[in-house]
Amino acid sequence: MGRVALIEAQQLTRSFRIPVKAPGFAGAVRHLLRPQYTERTAVDRLDLRVEAGESVAYVGPNGAGKSTTLKMLTGILSPTSGQVRVRGVDPHRERVANARSIGVVFGQRSHLWWDLPIQESLRLLGDIYEVPRERFTRSLDELVALLELGELLARPARQLSLGQRMRCELAAALLHGPELLYLDEPTLGLDVAVKERVRGFIRHINRERGVTVMLTSHDLGDIEDLCERMVMIDGGRILFDGPLRTMKERFGRTCAIHLALRGQPPDALALARQALPELAASCSTQPEQHQLVVQFDMAQAPVGSVVGRLLAALPVQDLRVQEPSIDSILRDLYENRLQLQEPRR
Partner 1 sequence: MSGLLVPVALRQAPRSKYLALVFIGAQRTLAYPRTVLLSLLSNTVWLAISYHLWSAVFDGTSQVGGLDWARMQTYLLLAQCASLLLNASASVHRMLRLIRTGDIAIELLRPYDVLTSQLAFSAGAALVEGVLGVLVAAGLGLTLLDVLPAASPAAASFFLVSLLLGFLVRFMVSLITSLLCLWTKNWLGLHWMQAALLSVFSGALVPLHLYPGWLRSLSLALPFQGIIHTPISIYLGELQGSALLRALGLQAFWVVALWGLARLLWNPGRQALDIQGG
* One of 96, 192, 193, 299 touching partner 1 (CB under 8 A): 96
What is the rounded distance in angstroms from the CA atom of residue 232 to the CA atom of residue 173? 25
Give the residue from 69, 124, 129 showing the smallest Cα distance to 103. 129
Residue 165 within binding range of partner 1, rule CB under 8 A = no
Residue 99 within binding range of partner 1, rule CB under 8 A = yes
**Closer to partner 1 at the Cβ: 141 or 249?**
141
* Distinct helix (H) and strand (E) counts, the chain: 13, 13
Three-class secondary structure of residue 93 per DSSP: coil
Residue 20 within binding range of partner 1, rule CB under 8 A = no
What is the rounded distance in angstroms from the CA atom of residue 182 to the CA atom of residue 173? 9
Count of positions on this chain that bind partner 1 (CB under 8 A): 50
Q: To the nearest whole angstrom, how small is the minimum distance from the Cβ of residue 324 to partner 1?
A: 30
At residue 155, φ and ψ (nearest 5 deg) are -100, 145
Q: Give the DSSP H or E segment for 146.
A: helix 133-147
Residue 285 within binding range of partner 1, rule CB under 8 A = no
Neighbours of 225 (CB within 10 A): 17
* One of 8, 51, 120, 241 touching partner 1 (CB under 8 A): 120
Rg (CA), the chain: 25
Residue 37 within binding range of partner 1, rule CB under 8 A = no
Q: To the nearest whole angstrom, how small is the minimum distance from the Cβ of residue 73 to partner 1?
A: 11
Chain centroid offset of residue 203 CA: 15
**Closer to partner 1 at the Cβ: 67 or 254?**
67
Q: Give the DSSP H or E segment for 215.
A: strand 212-216
* One of 55, 57, 84, 111 touching partner 1 (CB under 8 A): 111
- Sheet strand arrangement including 283-286: 283-286, 291-297, 254-261, 316-322
* One of 55, 74, 216, 254 touching partner 1 (CB under 8 A): 74
**Closer to partner 1 at the Cβ: 129 or 258?**
129
Q: To the nearest whole angstrom, how small is the minimum distance from the Cβ of residue 217 to partner 1?
A: 14
Residue 67 within binding range of partner 1, rule CB under 8 A = yes
**Closer to partner 1 at the Cβ: 118 or 310?**
118
Residue 162 within binding range of partner 1, rule CB under 8 A = no
Residue 32 within binding range of partner 1, rule CB under 8 A = no
At residue 171, φ and ψ (nearest 5 deg) are -60, -45
Residue 200 within binding range of partner 1, rule CB under 8 A = no
Looking at the DSSP bridge assignments, the partners of residue 180 are 102, 212
Region of 75 on the Ramachandran plot (φ > 0 left; ψ -120 to 50 alpha; else beta): left
Residue 42 within binding range of partner 1, rule CB under 8 A = yes
Residues that bind partner 1 (CB under 8 A): 16-17, 42, 63, 67-68, 71, 74-78, 92, 95-97, 99-100, 102, 104, 106, 108-111, 113, 115-116, 119-120, 122-124, 126-130, 133, 136-137, 140-141, 144-145, 150-151, 153-154, 156
